[in-house]
Amino acid sequence: MTEAPLLRVRNLRVTYPGEQGDVHAVRDVSFSLGRERLGIVGESGSGKSTTGRAIMGLVPPPGRISADELRLGETDLRGLSERGFREIRGRRVAMVLQDPKYALNPVMRVGRQIAETHRMHVGGGTRAARLAALTMLEAVNIRDPERVYRLYPHEVSGGMGQRVMIAMMLIAKPEVLIADEPTSALDATVQTQVLAVLDDLVRGRGMGLILISHNLHLVSAFCDRVLVMYAGRVVETCAAGRLHEATHPYTRGLLAALPTLEHRRAVLPQLRRDPAWAGE
Amino acid sequence: MSGVALRIWLLHPAPASRRQARLGRWYRAWRGLSRNGLAMAGLFIVVALVLMAIFAPLIADRAAVTTQSLATRLQFPSAEHWFGTDELGRDIFARVVFGARITLTIVGLVSAIVLPIGLGIGLPAGYFGGWPDAVLMRLTDIFLAFPRLVLALAFAAALGPGIENAVIAIALTAWPPYARLARAETMTRRDAEFVQAAVLQGASHGSILFSQIVPLCLPSVVIRLTLDMAGIIVTAAGLGFLGLGAQPPAPEWGAMVATGRQVLLTQWWVATIPGLAIVITSVGFNLLGDGLRDVADARSA
Amino acid sequence: MAGPTIGGGRIPGWGIVRRVLRTLGSVTLTFLGLTVVTFFIGRVIPIDPVLAIVGPKASNETYDRVRAEIGLDLPLPVQYWRYLLKVLHGDFGTSVITSQPVLRDMLDVFPATLELAVLALLIGVVLGVPLGVVAATHRGRWQDHLIRLLSLFGYSTPVFWLGLIGLLLFYAKLGWVAGPGRIDVGYDDMVPTVTGLLTVDALLDGNSEVFVNALRHLVLPASILGYLSLAYVARMTRSFMLGQLRQEYVLAALAKGLSHGRVVWVHALGNVWVQLITVIALTFGSLLEGAVLTETVFSWPGLGLYMKNSLFNADLNAVLGGTMLVGVVYIGLNLISDLIYPLVDPRVRGQRR
Ligand SMILES: Nc1ncnc2c1ncn2[C@@H]1O[C@H](COP(=O)(O)OP(=O)(O)O)[C@@H](O)[C@H]1O
Ligand SMILES: [Mg+2]
C-alpha cells in the first residue's frame, strides 16, 4: 500500500448520552483503509454499525462523535457541516444496509430510487439518470433491467433487492463503500451471489470496502484484512489469511466457536468475555 | 423508613415481595408522570375540578345557582358577582361551580356504562377467538362506523331530552374503541405462561379472565378513558347546547353557553365564561391522558 | 438465481377483486346495522306515531285503523323488512314541517353542508399535514410543543363555543367576515343553482360580487371546523411521521446524499400519505358531525341545521333520515378510503389477503 489511504480513522469515539450514564458505543477505534477489502467483525452491540455511521456523519442525535483524525482522502470529516456531508454521501462514501426489505422506500419504484442518487450527484436530468440506472442494474447482474426498473421493493426478492441497493449506492461512483451486514438477511444460497457482485464492482473500480459482519467465516474468506471489535474497541487487527495466528483471547474465542465440518461438537464452547478487554 | 431509604426500596431492581414490586411500579410511573410539566398541569386541573365539585357548597352559594333577580340581570363581572350574572340575574360563578358536578356526573356515568360493555365484548372476543371473536368484532365495527354525535342526537331525540338520555346516547356510541382495546390486550396475554399455568391448575375461563387478564388490561383502558373524557365532555356540552342534555334550570355548561348566545354581542361574558370552563376541563383531561400514555409507552418500549 | 416474485399471483388484478368484494361485504353489514339502529330508535320513541297522526281526541276505532295502516300491528321483523325496502328506495317518509319527502329536503340542504365541510377539510389537510411533519422533525423542541398545544386546544374546544367567539371577534368587533347565514339577503337567488355550492355556482355564473359575499360568509365557519380537523390531522401526521423516520429506508436515503428536506417531504411523507388516507376520510365524517353544531351557531342552512330544527319539532322522520344520510356518507367514505388505498400504496395493489 504505497498510495495515500482513502480513509483514515484515528481514535474515533462515539458516545450516546443515556439515562444511566453515557454509552460509549465506539472507543478509540483507529484504522486506515486503502483500495482493499477490510472486514470488521464482532458480536452484536460491539459498535460496528456505529463506526460505519460515524464515517457517514449519520450518528443519530443525541450521539456525539469525536476523533483525533477522521479523513476521507483530503477531506477532514470532523466538524464537517451537514451540507458538506451531503456532497460526500453517495458520491465519495456510500453505505449498503442489512435488509433491502426495509432499506428501500416501499412506495417508490426501485429504478427511481437508483436514478435519484444519480440525479443528486451527477446531474444531467431525468433521462440521463434513467439510462444510468438501467446500466447500473445490468452491472449488478440483473437480467431484465427495464422490467426491474419499474418494480416496487416488495415485488423483488431479497437477493435482487440487495443488488438494487448496491446499484443505488454505487451509481455515483463513491471511493469507499461501507457494507453493514449486507448478506445477513438473505438466504444462504443468495449470499454468495450478492457478495460476488459486490466484489466485482469493488475490485473493478478500485474502491475501498468496509465489510461489517458478525460472521467471522464470511469476513475471513472475503476480506484482505480483519478488525475484531469488542465492546467498542478494536481488540485485534490481522490479515485475513493469518487469522488462525490471532493472539487475542476474544478472537480465539470467536474462532473456537466456529462450527467446522471436520469435528462436530457435543457442547458448543462458551464464548469467554472479560471486562478488562474493554478497559484501559 | 427515611425518604431516601423508601425510594431505594421502591426502586429496587429485584423486589423481595409482590407488594414491593407493585408499589415500585406505581412509583416509577408516578416519577415519569411528575417529570412531565404539562401532564402535571392536567392532573392539577382534574383534581381541582373534582375538589370544586365536591366542595361546591363551600365555594359558592347554592341558592345563587337558581335564584333569579331581574333587577340585577346581565351584569358585568364585579366583586359581588365574580363572573357576572346571566339573563335571569343568576350568579354565573355559582352556576359554573355547581356545573362541575353535572360534568363529573356525566363522565362518571358514561364510564360506568362504557367499561362493562367494552370489556364484556372485548375480553371474550380476544380470549376465545374464533367465531365469537368474528361476531363480536363485526358488531363493534358496525358501531364504530357510526357518526357519534349524530347517533347520540337521534337517541336523545327518541328518548327525549335529559341528562340520563344524553349519558346513554354518548355511552352507546363510545364503547367500541374499548372493546377493540380490551380484545387486543387480551389476545397478547391469553397465551402467556401464567395464564397457561392457571388453565393447568383447572381455573375456569371466567376466573382467569377476571383475576388474570382484567387487571392487566386496566391500565391501558384507563389511559384511553382519560383521553376520551375530553371528547365525552365536549359531546355532552354539545348536546346541552342543543337543548338535549341537562334541562333548565340545571347549570350545565353547554346549556349556559346556549342561553348566552342571545346576548353574545352585548354581554359576551354570559356565553364565554361557561365555554372557558368546558375548554379548561377538557384540556386538563387531554394533558393528563397524554402524559399517562407517554409513561405507558416509555414503559413498554 | 430465482426470478423476482411478483406479489399478485397468476391473475393480475385478482387481489383487487378480492379486496373490493370484502369491502363491499363489510359495507353491506354496516349499512344493515345502521338501518337496524335507526329502525329501533324509531320504535322506542315515547311519542306515539299513531297519536301524532290521529290526534288525542280520535276514537279507538280510528286509532286502530291508522295503526294498521302504517303497519304497527305487524310483527317486528316484518316491520323492519318493510322499513329496509323503503330506505333502499330512498323513501324516508315525509317531513312534518315541510310536508315534503325527507329525501328531497335533504338533497336541498346537503350542498350547503358539503361546501362547508369540504373547505374545512382542505384547511385541515393543507395546514395540518405540514404542521404534523414539522412537529415530528422537531420532536421535543419548541416547535413540537407549540404544535402539540395548538392541536390539543383544537380537540379540547367545543366547536359551538369557538364559533360564537369567532363571530364575536371577527364579525362583530373586527368586521373582517360576514355574519351568520350563507349569503347576504340582497344576494339571495342571484345566481342559478348548478352544483348547489354557492361559491362554485357564483364562479360558474361569473358573478364575482356574489362569490365574494358567499366566501365572506363561508370563511369563518369553515376555518373553525377546519381548525378541529387540523388538530386531528396534525396529531396523526406527527405520529405516523415519527414512525416513518425510524425506518431504515430513511437512513439509506440520507446515506445516498439526499437532503433532509427531500428525505422528509418526499420519501417519508410519501409513506405517511398511505396511512393518512383513512384519517382524512374519518376526519371528513367528523366534520359532517361538527356541522350540526356549527350550522346551529352560524344559522347555516345545511343538513345539521335541518336536523336540529326537525329535532325540536318532533319531526322524527327528518331526524332519522338525516342520521341515515350522515351514516351512509360515513360508510361511503370508508369505502372510498379502502378503494383509493391501493392507488397510493403499491404494496396493497394486487396483493392477496
Ligand atoms: N441511537 C442509539 N442510541 C443509544 N445507543 C445506541 C444507539 N445506537 C446504538 N447504540 C448503542 O451502541 C452500541 C453499539 O451498537 P451498534 O453499533 O449498533 O453495534 P453492532 O452494529 O456491532 O451490533 C450498543 O451498545 C448500542 O446499544
Ligand atoms: Mg449493527
User: Can you give the pLDDT at residue C3?
Assistant: 38
CA gap B224, B235 in Å, rounded = 16
pLDDT in tens, A233-257: 998 898 888 777 777 878 877 777 6
The amino acid occupying position B20 is Q
- For chain A, the residues whose C-beta falls within 8 A of a C-beta of chain C are 56, 58, 82, 86-91, 94-95, 97-99, 102-108, 116-117, 120-121, 148, 151-152, 154-157, 159-160, 165, 168-169, 172, 190, 193
Which chain C residues are closer than 8 Å to A160 by Cβ? 4
ipTM: 0.90
Q: Quick check: is C177 in a domain?
A: no
Q: How confident is the model at residue A270 (pLDDT cuts 50, 70, 90)?
A: low
Domain ranges of chain A: 1-82+223-280
Interval C76-85 mean pLDDT: 88
DSSP structure string for A172-240? T--SEEEEESTTTTS-HHHHHHHHHHHHHHHHHTT-EEEEEES-HHHHHHH-SEEEEEETTEEEEEEEG
Inter-residue contact A149 to A110 (CB < 8 Å): yes
The three cell numbers locating residue C246? 425510524
- Sequence-distant (≥ 6) Cβ neighbours of residue B129 within 8 angstroms: B187
The amino acid occupying position C203 is L
The three cell numbers locating residue C24? 363491499
Number of separate domains in chain C:
2
User: Can you give the pLDDT at residue A265?
Assistant: 52
CA gap C251, C260 in Å, rounded = 10
Q: Quick check: is B26 in a domain?
A: no
pLDDT in tens, C147-195: 999 999 998 999 999 999 999 999 989 989 988 988 888 888 888 888 8
Inter-residue contact A136 to A122 (CB < 8 Å): no
**Phi and psi based region of residue B74 (left: phi greater than 0; alpha: psi -120 to 50; beta: remaining):** left
Q: Which residues of B140-173 are buried (b: 16+ CB within 10 A; e: fewer)?
A: bbbbbbbbbbbbbbbbbbbbebebebbbbbbbbb
Q: Quick check: is B99 in a domain?
A: yes
The three cell numbers locating residue C278? 383513512
Q: Say yes or no for a CB contact (<8 Å) between B142 and C167.
A: no
Query: Which region among A207-216, B51-60, B236-245, C6-15 has the lowest average model confidence (pLDDT)?
Result: C6-15
At residue B262, does pLDDT exceed 70? yes
Q: Say yes or no for a CB contact (<8 Å) between C289 and B158.
A: no
Q: Among A55, A81, A101, A105, pick the best mutation site for testing chain C contact (most C Cβ within 10 A).
A: A105
Inter-residue contact A93 to A56 (CB < 8 Å): yes
CA angle B51, B52, B56 (to 5 degrees): 120
Q: Quick check: CB of A25 below 6 Å from ligand 1?
A: yes
Residues facing A180 on adjacent strands: A212
Q: Say yes or no for a CB contact (<8 Å) between C41 and B261.
A: no
Let me know if chains A and C touch, i.e. at least 3 Cβ pairs under 8 angstroms.
yes
Q: How many CB atoms lie within 10 A of CB C21?
A: 10
* Distance from Cα A72 to the centre of ligand 1, integer Å: 23
Q: Say yes or no for a CB contact (<8 Å) between C33 and B234.
A: no
* Neighbouring chains to C with at least 3 Cβ pairs closer than 8 Å: A, B
Q: Quick check: CB of A257 below 6 Å from ligand 1?
A: no
User: Can you give the pLDDT at residue C352?
Assistant: 38
* Distance from Cα B296 to the centre of ligand 1, integer Å: 24
Query: Which region among A34-48, A158-172, C115-129, C280-294 has the lowest average model confidence (pLDDT)?
Result: C280-294
pLDDT in tens, B180-225: 898 888 888 777 777 777 777 777 777 777 777 888 788 888 888 8
Question: Is the minimum CB–CB distance between C168 and chain B shorter than 8 Å?
Answer: yes
Which bound ligand lies closest to the C-alpha atom of A47? 1
Inter-residue contact A143 to A159 (CB < 8 Å): no
At residue C205, does pLDDT exceed 90? no
First to last CA, chain A: 31
CA angle A164, A167, A170 (to 5 degrees): 150
The three cell numbers locating residue A127? 433521462
At residue C46, does pLDDT exceed 60? no
Q: Quick check: is B24 in a domain?
A: no
DSSP structure string for B271-295? HHHHHHHHHHHHHHHHHHHHHHHHH
Interval C139-148 mean pLDDT: 92
Query: Cell match 469488542: residue?
Result: A230
Query: Cell match 439526499: residue?
Result: C258
- Among A232-241, B179-188, B265-274, C254-263, name the most confident range: C254-263
* Neighbouring chains to B with at least 3 Cβ pairs closer than 8 Å: C
**CATH code of the domain made up of A1-82+223-280:** 3.40.50
Shared domain for C242 and C275, answered yes or no, is: yes
Q: DSSP secondary-structure letter at A280?
A: -
Domain that holds residue C119: 102-158+226-351
The CA-atom distances, in angstroms, between C124 and each of A250, B169, C117, C154, C277 are: 59, 28, 10, 11, 13
- For chain C, the residues whose C-beta falls within 8 A of a C-beta of chain A are 1-7, 247-249, 251-260, 267, 270-271, 274, 344-347
CA gap C323, C290 in Å, rounded = 13
Helix or strand or coil: residue A256?
helix
Q: Quick check: is C67 in a domain?
A: yes
User: Can you give the pLDDT at residue B299?
Assistant: 63
Selection from C43, C59, C95, C26 nearest residue C303 by Cα:
C95
The CA-atom distances, in angstroms, between B251 and each of A199, B81, B145, B230 are: 79, 16, 33, 19
Inter-residue contact C93 to C102 (CB < 8 Å): yes
How much of chain B, in percent, has pLDDT values that exceed 70? 98
Q: How confident is the model at residue C9 (pLDDT cuts 50, 70, 90)?
A: very low
- Sequence-distant (≥ 6) Cβ neighbours of residue B265 within 8 angstroms: C168, C172
User: Can you give the pLDDT at residue A258?
Assistant: 65
Helix or strand or coil: residue C62?
helix
Q: DSSP secondary-structure letter at C170?
A: I
For residue C12, the distance in angstroms to the closest alpha carbon of chain A comes to 13
Q: Quick check: is B56 in a domain?
A: yes
User: Can you give the pLDDT at residue C171?
Assistant: 93
How much of chain B, in percent, has pLDDT values that exceed 90? 26
The three cell numbers locating residue A191? 449470499
User: Can you give the pLDDT at residue A279?
Assistant: 62
Q: How confident is the model at residue C8 (pLDDT cuts 50, 70, 90)?
A: very low
Chain A residue at shortest CA distance from C347: A154
Interval B28-55 mean pLDDT: 88
For residue C14, the distance in angstroms to the closest alpha carbon of chain A comes to 16
Q: What crossing angle do the helices spanning B92-128 and B37-54 adopt, rounded to 10°?
A: 120
CA gap C259, C227 in Å, rounded = 31
Q: How many CB atoms lie within 10 A of CB C46?
A: 7
Domain that holds residue B209: 38-300
Shared domain for C234 and C302, answered yes or no, is: yes
Which chain A residues are closer than 8 Å to C256 by Cβ? 89-90, 94, 116-117, 120, 168-169, 172
Shared domain for C78 and C37, answered yes or no, is: yes
Residue nearest to atom 26 of ligand 1 (CA): A45
Shared domain for C67 and C32, answered yes or no, is: yes
User: Can you give the pLDDT at residue C45?
Assistant: 62
Inter-residue contact A1 to A175 (CB < 8 Å): no
pLDDT in tens, A127-185: 999 999 999 999 999 999 999 999 999 999 999 999 999 999 999 999 999 999 999 88
Query: Which region among B18-32, B275-289, C178-192, C194-208 has the lowest average model confidence (pLDDT)?
Result: B18-32
Query: Which region among A181-185, A211-215, B89-93, C10-14 has the lowest average model confidence (pLDDT)?
Result: C10-14
Q: How confident is the model at residue C4 (pLDDT cuts 50, 70, 90)?
A: very low
At residue C52, does pLDDT exceed 70? no
User: Can you give the pLDDT at residue B146?
Assistant: 73
At residue C1, does pLDDT exceed 50? no
Cis peptide before A62 (omega within 30 of 0): yes
User: Can you give the pLDDT at residue C249?
Assistant: 96
Q: How many CB pairs under 8 A join A and C?
A: 95
CA angle C189, C163, C200 (to 5 degrees): 30
Which chain A residues are closer than 8 Å to C271 by Cβ? 105-107
Give the B window 252-281 contacts with C, CB below 8 Å: 254, 257-258, 260-261, 264-265, 268, 271-272, 275, 278-279
Q: Whole-prediction pTM value?
A: 0.86
User: Can you give the pLDDT at residue C11?
Assistant: 53
Let me know if chains C and B touch, i.e. at least 3 Cβ pairs under 8 angstroms.
yes
User: Can you give the pLDDT at residue B275?
Assistant: 94
The three cell numbers locating residue C189? 337567488
Interval A83-92 mean pLDDT: 94
CA gap C46, C128 in Å, rounded = 44
Q: What is the mean pLDDT of chain A?
A: 89
Q: How many CB atoms lie within 10 A of CB C45?
A: 19
Which chain A residues are closer than 8 Å to C4 by Cβ? 148, 151, 155-157, 160
Helix or strand or coil: residue A37?
strand
Question: Is the minimum CB–CB distance between C45 and chain B shorter than 8 Å?
Answer: yes
CA gap B294, B37 in Å, rounded = 12
Q: Are strands A37-41 and A23-33 parallel, antiparallel or unpaired?
A: unpaired
The amino acid occupying position C146 is L
Number of separate domains in chain B:
1
Shared domain for C331 and C254, answered yes or no, is: yes
Locate all alpha helices (DSSP H) within chain B, ordered by sequence: 3-10, 18-34, 37-54, 56-59, 92-128, 130-144, 148-159, 163-174, 176-189, 193-200, 205-208, 214-241, 253-260, 269-300
Residue nearest to atom 4 of ligand 1 (CA): A16
Inter-residue contact A111 to A119 (CB < 8 Å): no
Ligand 1: which of A13, A23, A55 to mutate, judged by most atoms within 8 Å of the beta carbon? Answer: A23
Q: Quick check: is C239 in a domain?
A: yes
Q: Say yes or no for a CB contact (<8 Å) between C256 and A172.
A: yes
CA gap C315, C307 in Å, rounded = 9
**Phi and psi based region of residue C99 (left: phi greater than 0; alpha: psi -120 to 50; beta: remaining):** left
CA gap C267, B32 in Å, rounded = 34
User: Can you give the pLDDT at residue C135?
Assistant: 96
User: Can you give the pLDDT at residue B127?
Assistant: 86
Burial of A99 (0-12, 13-18, 19+ CB in 10 A): middle
Q: How confident is the model at residue C6 (pLDDT cuts 50, 70, 90)?
A: very low
Q: Ligand 2 is a single-atom ion; what residues have CB below 5 A from it?
A: A 49
For residue C122, the distance in angstroms to the closest alpha carbon of chain A comes to 24
Query: Which region among B119-123, B165-169, C99-103, C130-134 has the lowest average model confidence (pLDDT)?
Result: B165-169
Burial of A2 (0-12, 13-18, 19+ CB in 10 A): exposed
User: Can you give the pLDDT at residue C40?
Assistant: 84
Ligand 1: which of A48, A50, A53, A228 to mutate, judged by most atoms within 8 Å of the beta carbon? Answer: A50
Q: Which residues of A190-206 are buried (b: 16+ CB within 10 A; e: fewer)?
A: bbebbbebbeebbeeee
Cis peptide before A249 (omega within 30 of 0): no
* Distance from Cα C160 to the centre of ligand 1, integer Å: 51
